[in-house]
């Protein structure tokens, strides 16, 4: 009853999500992906991570700026509640605001194929307080193999580093025709001197209005800003999506959630809650 109330509170009983939610309130939704900068050293907690994963039940959640001990504890809470999830940590660094190491992680439904998991740092970042890099692995979407990259690029004020990191990220995706990038890129999509390599490599965002050209309909993912779109689910190689949702659990970063498909149809607008 408590979980049912939580689902109703966050508004999952909307047309895009109602069917899956009604099928089994404790089953992760196949091919649903989620990305969230949890701000673990500030706003994020193990309870908040577990709560949002309970609410949206992704097959795979990519997390950034997360305290890794809190991710581990969130997975324990999920399993205790009857949702069977596992996690793998990415790159992490010591951080005074975090009771454990701060970095990236994936949380995935038990039974999800996670192959060739890898952690690789970028050649340059801000220094020892941050561990910028890419966490990559191969999974399956709609039965097809996909290489997934979870990343968190250098913070605003470090544009040179982000330009370098994007080039290294795109180069890492090149061997994979079907690829996905999830994460916080710390830059707007139309900042060409950073983002052009991503668009040139054939990626597109699940928000259909967010691309290389400024469009006022592109939804910001930092809710307290005018136009800061930093958080992305980027797809390439025939991947498409059947819905897109941006949820606002805090005033820091919105969560981006989407169900992926290989069917080529209309690209729906994102719903913001």
Selection from 103, 88, 174 nearest residue 139 by Cα: 88
CA distance 200 to 48: 36
For residue 43, pLDDT over 50 is answered with yes
pLDDT of residue 97: 84
210 to each of 6, 144, 180, how far by Cα in Å? 30, 26, 16
For residue 1, pLDDT over 60 is answered with no
Domains and CATH numbers, the chain: 34-272 (3.60.10.10)
pLDDT of residue 18: 40
Q: How confident is the model at residue 130 (pLDDT cuts 50, 70, 90)?
A: confident
pLDDT in tens, 154-188: 999 999 999 999 999 999 999 999 999 999 999 99
Average pLDDT, the chain: 90
pLDDT in tens, 211-261: 999 999 999 999 999 999 999 999 999 999 999 999 999 999 999 999 999
pLDDT of residue 95: 86
pLDDT in tens, 56-91: 999 999 999 999 999 999 999 999 999 999 999 999
pLDDT of residue 25: 67
pLDDT of residue 100: 78
pLDDT in tens, 195-216: 999 999 999 999 999 999 999 9
pLDDT of residue 7: 39
Average pLDDT over residues 33-49: 93
pTM confidence score: 0.90
pLDDT of residue 11: 39
């Amino acid at each position: 009853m408590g979980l049912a109330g939580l689902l109703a509170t966050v508004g999952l009983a909307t047309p895009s999500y109602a069917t899956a939610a009604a099928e089994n309130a404790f089953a992760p939704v196949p091919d649903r992906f989620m990305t969230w900068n949890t701000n673990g050293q500030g706003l994020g907690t193990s309870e908040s991570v577990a709560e949002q994963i309970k609410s949206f039940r992704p097959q795979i959640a990519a997390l950034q700026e997360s305290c890794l001990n809190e991710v581990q504890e969130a997975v324990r809470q999920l399993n205790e509640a009857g949702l069977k999830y596992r996690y793998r940590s990415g790159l992490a660094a010591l951080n005074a605001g975090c009771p454990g190491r701060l970095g990236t992680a994936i949380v995935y439904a038990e039974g999800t194929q996670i192959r060739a998991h890898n952690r690789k740092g970028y050649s340059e970042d801000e220094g020892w307080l941050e561990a910028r890099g890419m966490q990559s692995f191969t999974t399956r979407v709609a039965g097809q193999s996909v290489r997934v990259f979870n990343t968190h690029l250098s913070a605003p004020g470090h544009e040179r580093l982000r330009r370098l990191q994007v080039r290294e990220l795109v180069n890492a995706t090149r061997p994979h025709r079907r690829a996905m990038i999830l994460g916080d890129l710390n830059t707007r999509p139309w900042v060409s001197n950073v983002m052009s390599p991503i668009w040139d490599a054939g990626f597109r965002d699940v928000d259909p209005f967010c691309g290389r050209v400024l469009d006022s309909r592109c939804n910001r993912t930092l809710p307290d800003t005018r136009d800061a779109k930093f958080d992305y689910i980027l797809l390439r190689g025939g991947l498409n999506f059947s819905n897109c949702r941006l949820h606002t659990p805090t005033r820091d970063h919105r969560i981006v959630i989407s169900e992926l498909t290989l069917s080529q149809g209309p690209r729906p607008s994102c719903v913001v809650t």
